[in-house]
Each structure stands twice: as structure tokens, then as C-alpha cells.
Structure 1
Amino acid sequence: MIFNPIAALVAALSTFLVGFIWYNPKVFGTAWMTETGMTEEKAKKGNMAKIFGLTFILSVIMSFFLPLIVIHQSGVLQIVNGDATNPAYMAYMEVVGENHRSFGHGALHGLMTGVMLILPAVAINGLFEQKSWKYILITGGYWVVSLTLMGAIICGWK
């Protein structure tokens, strides 16, 4: 099976683990708060149920799309309009099978997605918002690490 919904949900949850570590005051949390103007008082005023709930939903959306990027077999299945009985797809799977379905390969494609797609998007927004490069690298770095882990989980967990 190409798509594993359990792996996608775990991948979505992994963004919380990365965030817990990444934004810890002993890692980048204090620097991020300084760069954004966030204070402990302001943070406590946020609706945490809403913030964490929407964060999970948005992470699920990302993790449900990510297989199209990190699993080669998904692309081939798209070419045949999702018809797994198509002779061309069946021939491809006979030759290639589960090749490149590993945690390492998924991590590579997740890393590439983070560096080549998400980091530039974060940087563009940061430039127009006149944010510092420190902010851009902290925020973009979080997504690079998160997508690397998400890609590993989604591609490697069959």
C-alpha cells in the first residue's frame, strides 16, 4: 500500500515533538521570542486549544500531501490515474517494487522539500515582513527538520 494513514497521522504529530524541542528556551525558544516580540504574558493569553487544534489539522493536511513528494510509487500511480491494475503500473511495481521505500529516502525528500520549497517561502514572507534573518532561519529551520522527520515516517513506515 502506498499511502499509510497511520503513518501520516504520526508524521503530523511529529511536528509537535520537533516544536517542543526546537522552541524550548534552551534551544531556539528565547531567540524566537525576542525576534517576534513575543512575551510570556502574551503567549499565555493565546487560546491554546485553538492554536494546537488548528496546528494539528494543518499538519495532517501536510502529511496527507507529503506521500506524493516522498514516495516515488505515488508519482507513477498518478500517471495511470490511480489505476493500480494498469499494466504499466503493474510492470513498474514488478521491476521497482518497494525500492526507495525507506526512512532514509523519505528523510532525504523531506529535507529537500523543506530546503527547496518551505524555507524559501518562509524567507520571502520574512523579507516582506521585515523580519531578521535569525527569525527566518529559526522558523524555516523548524520546518526543514519537521519535514525531514515527516518524510522519513511517511516513506519508511509501510
Structure 2
Amino acid sequence: MGLFNFPAIIVAAVSALVVGFIWYNPKVFGTAWMKAADMTEEKIQGANMAKIFGLALFFAFLLSTALPGIVIHQMGALSLVGGDPSTALPSYDAFMADYADAFRTFKHGVLHGALSGVFIALPILGTNALFERKSAKYIFINSGYWIVTLAIMGGIICAWK
């Protein structure tokens, strides 16, 4: 069982864009976000969308590589042996034999992903928005996106063994 699952990392990163397409759709929060962000159709049309989506995917990939340590409890055991299980004492193998799949569910990953959104993304985005003089609506729309996105990413990463 590998704790770092590269296909899960990639799918989780792509899921951030999928959630964004839905979340920021004008029929969901897109229109409210545009108003809260002082965004106009002209600004959107003048943007290099390939660059924006490419970098967004890259940033989502960075997040998805950080999430296993948050959503998979067994990563803590792996870190205790220095990241190389081949050098671990036999007790590591015994521990993993007993607990390798403990809490490895989509639901559990969603929980830890959502908590990451609330306790990491919300404070960061909220602080930036306060200094940028953005509204509470702006904070909640953007933070809500990251809470939902990190929840889905966490679920994918935790459950995909």
C-alpha cells in the first residue's frame, strides 16, 4: 500500500478546477463573486485564460501534494521512520498490518479536507480580503469554494488506496 498515490494527487488537483467551474458559474456564485470582486466582463475577456487555468492547476497540484499528510493518518507513522519504510523496525510493519486502512474513507478525507479549508484557507483568504477592503460576501464565496474543494480533494486522496 502506497501512502503517496500519484493518480489520486492528479485527480484531486483537477477536481479543484471542476468545482471552480461549478462554483463560479453565474447560476451559482459567479455573478455574486463578480460583483464582490469588482470583476467585469471586460476584465475577464482581456485575460490570458490559458495562463490562469494552467497556474490554477499547478497551484491545485501543490495543494494536493500537501493533503496526504493532513488527510491520511498513516502518513504520521511513515514520517516517524524517516519516510523510508524499508529502514523501519519490524514494529512499523506490524503497525501498518493492523492499521493500514484505518480511517481511509472518502468521508474521513472530506472531514479533514473541510477542516483544512476552515482552519487554513478561510483565515488566509479572510486576512487578505480585509486588507484589500473586500466584503464579507467576497470572503465567504471564495472561502466556501476552498472549503468545498479541499473537502473533495481530501476525500479523493484519503479514499484512493
**Counterpart for residue 101 of structure 2:** 98
Residue 101 of structure 1: SS of its match in structure 2? coil
TM-score by length of 1: 0.97
RMSD over aligned CA atoms reads: 0.9
**Counterpart for residue 33 of structure 2:** 32
Residue 98 of structure 1: SS of its match in structure 2? coil
**Counterpart for residue 67 of structure 2:** 66
**Counterpart for residue 122 of structure 2:** 119
Displacement of 1:130 in angstroms is 1.1
Instruction: Note if 1:47 corresponds to 2:26.
Output: no
Displacement of 1:94 in angstroms is 2.2
Identity %: 54
Residue-by-residue CA offset, 1:49-71 (whole Å, 9 max, x unaligned): 10011111111111011101100
**Alignment partners' CA distance in 2, 1:97 and 1:26:** 42
**Counterpart for residue 18 of structure 1:** 19
**Alignment partners' CA distance in 2, 1:27 and 1:46:** 22
Deviation above 4 Å: which 4+ runs of structure 1?
none
Displacement of 1:131 in angstroms is 0.7
Displacement of 1:91 in angstroms is 2.6
**Alignment partners' CA distance in 1, 2:137 and 2:124:** 15
Displacement of 1:37 in angstroms is 1.0
Residue 43 of structure 1: SS of its match in structure 2? helix
Contiguous gaps of at least 5 residues in structure 2: none
Residue 28 of structure 1: SS of its match in structure 2? helix
| Number of residue-to-residue matches in the alignment | 158
Residue 85 of structure 2: SS of its match in structure 1? coil
Residue-by-residue CA offset, 1:14-36 (whole Å, 9 max, x unaligned): 01111111001111100100011
Displacement of 1:13 in angstroms is 0.3
**Alignment partners' CA distance in 1, 2:10 and 2:100:** 24
What amino acid sits opposite 2:23 in the alignment? W
**Counterpart for residue 134 of structure 1:** 137
Displacement of 1:101 in angstroms is 0.7
What amino acid sits opposite 1:4 in the alignment? N
What amino acid sits opposite 1:17 in the alignment? V
Residue 128 of structure 2: SS of its match in structure 1? helix
